[in-house]
């Protein structure tokens, strides 16, 4: 029987006895416990005792203490913030295009607002009861039971912990220590509190985590361990640095909006293709729909198509110049396109309906058959192959049907958007085109993909036997297997290479690349450390892309990567961390004492719990101040 199931038995026993008076849950630790003790301390599920109180729940966010308006110079990069100060400039919020109604500002989860503590005497009486410690389920149990307390006692006890362990007696307690100015957090004061339980002669192992907030969605965590008897509370030289960023699609910057909109269009086109194919499979007769265009007159459409096919493409004069990532993004939106199908994407996507789109492809193929094409397509997509074959008189003008116009448009749109991102990453010197393409999960069935015929023909255009034989030769230039040849003969000729799974993978990869770009742009704007671009890009693109059903404003992408300390040292020197977790551990032959001091410039407990310490917040107004909590855990060997 596993330790998890053993703790579940404890939960069932407690539920039968105390369910009428208390709310008892068996789940992951609440956010406020994880914040104080560290998420790794309670890795699995825990049992939690509390009272559920919905009477005081409010839809508005709980506010931190009183705020003091303090002006700062634009050059001062404030990485901290304070519950007693508000340095935020309204213009800065406007520049970031933040939708404040969509951002959860509270450090706790919504359901935790209903948590209310029980009197500490009641909690202790349950813990000390023989039925709790000596129940049949307790013999082999392993795991923690937490009691949320009201904090009304003199010590302001917020949580009591009883940890079941076969070899040890383990107790824990979290108390609220008040509001303290940042300069009062010293090694001497922490050691004094730690030694009070185990004596000054004991060795101390200290682990420190300092978290700096660059923005509400960007933080830098500096962590290190030391066995020094007088540990330093700030170390920007040897610490491990973790950069955490959250990108919300609803907060896309104006400079990248055009690219995410293209991704939305491509996703919509694919959805419409699949919808039509499902209806077709169900014998439902309906025309496909196209709903992404703003409209274009047929005369203008014909003129634009003829122009891009007969004019020589100009070389982009900006290519290769030394520019930062913001300049390259702006340039990518106005750069001169060289390939024909990239230019056609910008024209064809404007069609206002499926009927107009189908007519536009007919105009395109007629132009290819009659004009002297100067701008020969170089892209490796199906439309480029058809245009080349029609222009070389090796293929009659195709008659597209069903969802084929949408499928051709989707393919050239995917390729065009990928080349936009490739341009940005290469011109910004972030990574090479080969790195952008090949990083991440290995491409599956690469050999099989090369066996797919490069040129497929429409059965409607297979007229003469001789020309059919010639087409067959062209069709199977790259086929390596006789089995594949027979298979393709059976399948017949198609005007489109659409594959549902393959397009889903490409869209997911494009979204991954876009999120990577957004993360890099956030680093550029708020930290300005371009030297980490390749490292960040490498780590993000090696992760497998997420398969998504749709792209909407609720999409969130979180990034957590390791950086070298020297990258961020100058940005953090002289700054107070937004939160600090300092864990001191000592032991002797009989017991181990752990003291975790947690400081945060925000109150991390919901209003129902923090009522006991909400009245002392206004003493300090000109200093960075911390709410502070102390977690003590004592492990004693059972005799």
Domain boundaries, the chain: 3-236+575-637, 254-506
DSSP line for 57-99:
--SSPPP-S--B-----TT------BTTB----HHHHHHHT--
**pLDDT value of residue 525:** 93
- 537 φ/ψ angles, rounded to the nearest 5 degrees: -60, -45
**pLDDT value of residue 615:** 55
Please, which pLDDT band fits residue 422 given cuts at 50, 70 and 90?
Answer: very high
Within 8 A by CB and 6+ apart from 570, the residues are none
* Helix residue ranges, H only, 492-564: 500-526, 533-541
> Mean pLDDT across the chain, nearest whole number?
83
The dihedral of CA 297, 411, 505, 243: what is its sign? negative
Cα–Cα distance, 412 to 262 (Å, whole number): 12
CB count in 10 Å sphere of residue 143: 21
Pick the closest to residue 276 from 500, 549, 504 (CA basis).
Answer: 500
Task: Give the distance from CA 327 to its chain's centroid.
Answer: 25
For residues 61-76, give the mean pLDDT.
40
**pLDDT value of residue 295:** 93
DSSP-derived 3-state class of residue 38: coil
CB distance 147 to 123 below 8 Å: yes
DSSP-derived 3-state class of residue 246: strand
**pLDDT value of residue 300:** 95
* Residue 254: burial class (beta carbons within 10 Å; 0-12, 13-18, 19+): exposed
Cα–Cα distance, 280 to 287 (Å, whole number): 10
Cα–Cα distance, 279 to 185 (Å, whole number): 67
- For the stretch 282-334, pLDDT in tens is 888 888 999 999 999 999 999 999 999 888 877 766 666 678 999 999 999 99
Angle between helices 404-427 and 257-281 (to 10 degrees): 150
pTM to 2 decimals?
A: 0.79
**pLDDT value of residue 131:** 81
- For the stretch 343-400, pLDDT in tens is 999 999 999 999 999 999 999 999 999 887 777 888 989 999 999 999 888 788 899 9
Q: pLDDT at residue 485 above 90?
A: no
Given the structure tokens 């947690």, which residue do they identify? 598
Cα–Cα distance, 180 to 625 (Å, whole number): 6
Cα–Cα distance, 430 to 533 (Å, whole number): 6
Q: pLDDT at residue 490 above 50?
A: no
CB distance 212 to 219 below 8 Å: yes
**pLDDT value of residue 468:** 42
Pick the closest to residue 174 from 204, 129, 198, 144 (CA basis).
Answer: 144
* Residue 612: burial class (beta carbons within 10 Å; 0-12, 13-18, 19+): middle
The dihedral of CA 486, 487, 492, 493: what is its sign? negative
- 626 φ/ψ angles, rounded to the nearest 5 degrees: -125, 140
Within 8 A by CB and 6+ apart from 594, the residues are 583, 584, 585, 631, 632, 633, 634, 635
Given the structure tokens 């937490």, which residue do they identify? 146
Cα 84 to Cα 71, 76, 447: the distances in Å are 14, 18, 62
Torsion of CA 370, 375, 379, 385, to 10 degrees: 20
CB distance 374 to 309 below 8 Å: yes
**pLDDT value of residue 636:** 93
Cα–Cα distance, 253 to 267 (Å, whole number): 20
Q: What is the DSSP letter of 547?
A: P
Pick the closest to residue 580 from 46, 109, 75, 177 (CA basis).
Answer: 177
- For the stretch 525-579, pLDDT in tens is 999 988 899 999 999 999 999 887 788 888 999 999 999 999 999 999 999 999 9
- 283 φ/ψ angles, rounded to the nearest 5 degrees: 60, 35
Higher pLDDT, 232 or 132: 232
For residues 590-602, give the mean pLDDT.
95
**pLDDT value of residue 105:** 73
């Amino acid at each position: 029987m596993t330790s998890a199931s053993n703790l579940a038995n404890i939960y069932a026993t407690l539920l039968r006895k105390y369910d009428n008076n208390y709310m008892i849950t068996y789940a992951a630790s609440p956010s406020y416990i994880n914040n104080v003790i560290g998420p790794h301390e309670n890795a699995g599920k825990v049992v939690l005792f509390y009272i559920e109180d919905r009477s005081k729940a409010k839809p508005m966010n709980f506010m931190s203490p009183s705020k003091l308006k303090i002006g700062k110079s634009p050059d001062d990069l404030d990485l901290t913030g304070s519950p007693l100060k508000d340095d935020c400039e309204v213009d800065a919020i406007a520049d970031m295009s933040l939708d404040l109604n969509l951002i959860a500002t509270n450090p706790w989860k919504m359901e935790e607002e209903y948590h209310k503590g029980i009197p500490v005497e009641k909690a202790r009486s349950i813990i000390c009861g023989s039925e709790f410690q000596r129940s049949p389920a307790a013999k082999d149990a392993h795991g923690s039971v937490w009691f949320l307390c009201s904090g009304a006692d003199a010590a302001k006890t917020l949580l009591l912990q009883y940890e079941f362990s076969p070899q040890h007696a383990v107790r824990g307690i979290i108390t609220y220590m008040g509001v303290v100015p940042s300069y009062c957090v010293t090694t001497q004061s922490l050691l004094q509190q730690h030694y009070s339980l185990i004596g000054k002669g004991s060795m101390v192992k200290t682990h420190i985590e300092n978290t700096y907030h660059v923005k509400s969605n960007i933080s830098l965590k500096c962590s290190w361990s030391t066995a020094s008897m007088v540990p330093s509370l700030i170390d920007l030289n040897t610490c491990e640095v973790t950069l955490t960023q959250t990108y919300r699609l609803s907060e896309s910057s104006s400079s990248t909006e055009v690219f995410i909109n293209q991704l939305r269009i491509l996703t919509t086109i694919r959805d419409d293709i699949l919808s039509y194919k499902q209806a077709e499979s169900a014998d439902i007769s309906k025309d496909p729909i196209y709903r992404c265009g703003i409209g274009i007159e047929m005369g203008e459409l014909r003129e634009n198509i003829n122009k891009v096919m007969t004019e020589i493409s100009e070389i982009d004069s900006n290519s290769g110049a030394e520019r930062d990532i913001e300049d390259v993004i702006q340039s990518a939106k106005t750069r001169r396109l060289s390939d024909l199908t990239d230019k056609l994407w910008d024209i064809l996507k404007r069609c206002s309906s499926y009927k107009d789109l189908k007519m536009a492809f007919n105009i395109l193929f007629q132009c290819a058959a009659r004009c002297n094409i100067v701008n020969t397509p170089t892209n490796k997509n199906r439309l480029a192959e058809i245009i080349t074959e029609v222009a070389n008189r090796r293929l009659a003008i195709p008659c597209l049907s069903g969802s084929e116009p949408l499928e051709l448009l989707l393919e050239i749109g995917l390729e065009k958007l990928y080349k936009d991102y490739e341009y940005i990453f290469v011109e910004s010197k972030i990574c090479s085109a080969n790195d952008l393409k090949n990083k991440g999960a290995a491409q599956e069935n690469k050999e099989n993909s090369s066996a797919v015929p490069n040129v497929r023909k429409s059965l409607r255009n297979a007229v003469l036997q001789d020309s059919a034989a010639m087409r067959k030769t062209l069709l199977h230039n790259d086929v390596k297997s006789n089995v594949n040849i027979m298979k393709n003969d059976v399948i017949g000729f198609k005007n489109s290479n659409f594959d549902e799974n393959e397009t889903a993978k490409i869209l997911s990869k494009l979204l991954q690349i876009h999120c990577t770009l957004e993360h890099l742009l956030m680093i550029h704007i708020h930290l300005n450390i371009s030297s980490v671009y390749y490292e960040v890009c490498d780590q993000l693109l090696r992760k497998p892309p997420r398969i998504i059903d749709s792209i909407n404003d609720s999409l969130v992408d979180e990034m957590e990567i390791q950086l070298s300390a020297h990258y961020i040292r100058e940005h953090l020197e002289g700054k107070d961390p937004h939160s600090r977790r300092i864990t001191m551990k000592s032991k002797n032959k009989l017991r181990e004492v752990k003291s975790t001091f947690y400081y945060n410039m925000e109150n991390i407990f919901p209003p129902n719990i923090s009522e006991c310490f909400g009245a002392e917040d206004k003493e300090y107004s000109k200093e960075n101040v911390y709410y502070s909590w102390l977690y003590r855990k004592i492990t004693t060997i059972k005799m």
